[in-house]
């Protein structure tokens, strides 16, 4: 039985997040489920929201969106999970039946407000709850929830709800189309996504994985994962010494994006994991045109990628735990949420 109230980690203002008592969710329709979060990884974006780098209105909202947990209650029409199942909760809300969901574009589900996600209420205008809570309501349980294989740990499963799947998708399709190609990953502010991309590129057979960054710790981390690590201070005119058929921009910086695009060889593909600024001057559009390169930028379609990434983790092809830098109890979220670690995981204290 779920109590009428629960504890929720709440964004109040930049550098001010606190635990609050709020009304607990209830099942309101037959296709819903309630999940008790057991592990919640800090998304790369969460750090910048929490510390004010990405400004938010000072309007409280539930925090945390990379979730692995336990099903505690289901509606009458739910058939794919039962109470006690351990599940990944994809960070985006998606119905599974609309035209976009049917095509695998779960980021663009048309049944809910645009950009609907856990822990990011200010994007969609609706608070769907957050991972750092006693419970979360899953509105489309059969479409969204994915059972966690026994061989996959809860911290790893939580990361697969967003960042690990994001890193994977940046190289999976390009390497399938161009097997064995060398890959460049332009690292930076999307700290863990860039490193997850390194892991995926190595695992999926890239002949060479090069990782650039301005942060010494991330460079060392990328090298330990199998990349050639090169320090680069990104600028609009930073020299490009080599071009690659597959490039990932995980810098989240204007200058990093320009460097990534200029590093993409003729008819190559550059995938961006974020939009570093609404309008960017200095993009090498003429050069992109002459070389005929493809630039793809979007949020990951998380639900569509989760099972493939879980499979890679289950068989040991990708050791996602090697990207995680610290595991802490939920009770330390308030004092640790803005720590500079690359990838923090919060686990329920009694786990």
> For 253-303, how does the pLDDT look when each residue is reduced to its tens digit (9 = 90+)?
999 999 999 999 999 999 999 988 777 888 899 999 999 999 999 999 999
Residue 61: HSE in the Cβ half-sphere, 13 Å Cα cutoff: 24
Domain stop point among 280, 297, 314: 297
Predicted pLDDT at 161 = 98
Domain end (from 277, 297, 317): 297
Q: What angle do CA 271, 307, 81 make, to 5 degrees?
A: 140
* Shared-domain flag, residues 195 and 340: no
Angle at 336 between CA 312 and CA 22, to 5 degrees: 90
Cα-Cα-Cα-Cα dihedral of 258, 172, 97, 75, to 10°? -110
- Please give the Cα distance from 216 to 293 (Å, whole number): 30
Question: Residues near 262 by Cβ (< 8 Å), separated by ≥ 6?
Answer: 240, 284, 287
Give the confidence band of 157 by pLDDT, cuts at 50, 70, 90.
very high
Averaged over 105-131, what is the pLDDT? 95
Last residue of a domain, one of 282, 297, 312: 297
106 and 139 share a domain? yes
- For residue 123, give the DSSP letter: H
Same domain, 51 and 22: yes
**Angle formed at CA 326 by CA 328 and CA 310, multiple of 5 degrees:** 100
Same domain (yes/no): 202, 147 = no
Same-domain check for residues 152 and 31: yes
Range of the domain at 184: 164-297
Distance between alpha carbon 20 and the CA centroid of its chain, in Å? 25
Q: Are residues 171 and 82 in the same domain?
A: no
CB crowding 264-280: b at 16 or more within 10 Å, else e: bbeebbbbbbbebeeee
Mean pLDDT, rounded, of the chain: 96
| CA dihedral (331, 332, 334, 338) positive or negative | negative
Tokens coding 249? 């921009």
Alpha carbons 198 and 210: distance in angstroms, whole number: 8
Question: Do 176 and 317 belong to one domain?
Answer: no
Domain of 285, CATH number, reads 3.40.50.720
Q: How many CA atoms lie within 13 A of 8 on its CB side?
A: 25
Same structural domain for residues 200 and 128? no
* 8 Å CB contact between 322 and 7: no
Q: CA–CA separation, 228 vs 211, rounded Å? A: 6
pLDDT, tens digit (0-9, with 9 covering 90-100), for 173-215 = 999 999 999 999 999 999 999 999 999 999 999 999 999 999 9
CA neighbor of 324 nearest in space, from 339, 309, 345: 345
Query: Count of domains in the chain?
Result: 2
Mean pLDDT computed over 89-98: 98
Q: Which of 156, 154, 141 is nearest to 350 (CA)?
A: 154
What's the confidence (pLDDT) of residue 147? 98
Q: What is the mean pLDDT of residues 67-96?
A: 98
Indicate if 110 and 173 belong to the same structural domain: no
The reply to whether 58 and 120 lie within a common domain is: yes
CATH of the domain at 61: 3.90.180.10
**pLDDT at residue 351, as a whole number:** 56
Residues 207 and 321 in one domain: no
Q: Cα separation of 140 and 32, whole Å?
A: 5
Q: What is the mean pLDDT of residues 78-101?
A: 98
Counting residues of the chain whose pLDDT is more than 70, the rounded percentage is 99
Query: Are 252 and 211 in a shared domain?
Result: yes
């Amino acid at each position: 039985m779920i109590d009428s109230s629960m504890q929720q980690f709440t964004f109040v203002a930049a550098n001010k997040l606190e635990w609050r008592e709020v009304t607990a969710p209830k099942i309101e329709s037959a296709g819903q489920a309630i999940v008790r979060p057991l592990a919640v990884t800090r998304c790369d974006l969460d750090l910048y929201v929490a510390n004010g780098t990405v400004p938010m209105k000072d309007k409280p909202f539930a925090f945390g969106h990379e979730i692995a947990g336990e099903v505690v209650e289901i509606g009458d029409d739910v058939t794919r999970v039962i109470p006690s199942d351990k599940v990944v909760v994809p960070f985006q809300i998606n119905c599974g039946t609309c035209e976009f969901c049917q095509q695998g574009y779960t980021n663009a589900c048309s049944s809910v407000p645009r950009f609907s996600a856990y822990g990011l209420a200010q994007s969609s205008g609706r608070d769907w709850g957050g991972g750092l809570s006693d419970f979360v309501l899953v509105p489309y349980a059969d479409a969204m929830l994915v059972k966690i294989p026994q061989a996959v740990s809860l911290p790893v499963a939580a990361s697969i709800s967003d960042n690990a799947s994001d890193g994977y998708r940046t190289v999976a399709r390009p390497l399938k189309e161009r097997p064995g190609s060398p890959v460049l990953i332009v690292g930076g502010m999307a700290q863990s996504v860039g490193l997850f991309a390194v892991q995926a590129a190595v695992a999926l057979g890239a002949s060479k994985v090069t990782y650039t960054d301005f942060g010494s710790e991330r460079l060392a981390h990328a090298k330990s994962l199998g990349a050639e690590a090169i320090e680069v201070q990104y600028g609009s005119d930073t020299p490009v010494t080599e071009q690659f058929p597959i490039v990932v921009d995980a810098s989240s910086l204007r200058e990093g994006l320009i460097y990534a695009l200029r590093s993409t060889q003729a008819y190559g593909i550059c995938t961006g994991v974020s939009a570093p600024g609404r309008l960017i001057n200095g993009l090498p559009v003429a050069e992109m045109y002459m070389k005929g390169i493809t630039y793809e930028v979007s949020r990951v379609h998380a639900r569509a990628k989760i099972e493939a990434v879980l499979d890679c983790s289950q068989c040991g092809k990708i050791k996602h735990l090697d990207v995680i830098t610290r595991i802490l109890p939920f009770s330390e979220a308030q004092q640790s949420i803005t720590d500079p670690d690359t990838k923090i995981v919060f686990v329920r204290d009694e786990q």
